């Protein structure tokens, strides 16, 4: 629950370098970099909680069938993923296109459609 978000933070700061554009591996503005890192850490925290919670309940004698928060927790994780991709779709397509100037129209269209694809996958899975 602590290690996974810290690892996500370190990886995000390494790849996006929010205050150092010269060290950035991905094309993003400072605001987009900070936003992506924040939501990456929030998602990693949700993953950490989903791993720790069943183990914690089992250690305290609570059977898996007695509490049923799994559906709602899973629902809110998927809704969170969809909301982030919907709200930050312009910044995400810039990150996906990268620094390369030779972008064919198909690549640009795929980058523009990726947030909608991610929302669709969050709904269907």
**What confidence tens digit (pLDDT) does each residue in 34-89 have?**
999 999 999 999 888 888 888 888 888 887 777 777 778 888 888 999 999 999 88
Q: How many residues does the chain have?
A: 125
Question: pTM here?
Answer: 0.79
Instruction: Indicate the average pLDDT of the chain.
Output: 86
Quote the pLDDT of residue 106. Answer: 93
Q: Give Cα 24 distance to the centre of its chain.
A: 18
Average pLDDT estimate for 108-123: 91
Quote the pLDDT of residue 58. Answer: 83
The residues near 95 (Cβ < 8 Å, ≥ 6 apart) are 26, 27, 28, 32, 36
């Amino acid at each position: 629950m602590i290690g996974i978000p810290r690892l996500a933070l370190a990886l995000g700061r390494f790849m996006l370098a929010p205050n150092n554009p010269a060290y950035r591996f991905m094309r993003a503005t400072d605001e987009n970099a900070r936003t992506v890192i924040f939501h990456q850490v929030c998602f990693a925290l949700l993953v950490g909680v989903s791993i720790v919670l069943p183990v914690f309940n089992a250690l305290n004698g609570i059977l898996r069938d007695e509490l049923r928060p799994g559906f709602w927790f899973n629902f809110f994780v998927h809704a969170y993923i969809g909301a982030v991709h919907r709200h930050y779709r312009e910044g995400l397509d810039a990150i996906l296109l990268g620094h390369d100037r030779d972008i064919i129209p198909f690549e640009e269209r795929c980058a523009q459609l990726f947030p909608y694809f991610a929302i669709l996958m969050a709904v269907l899975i």
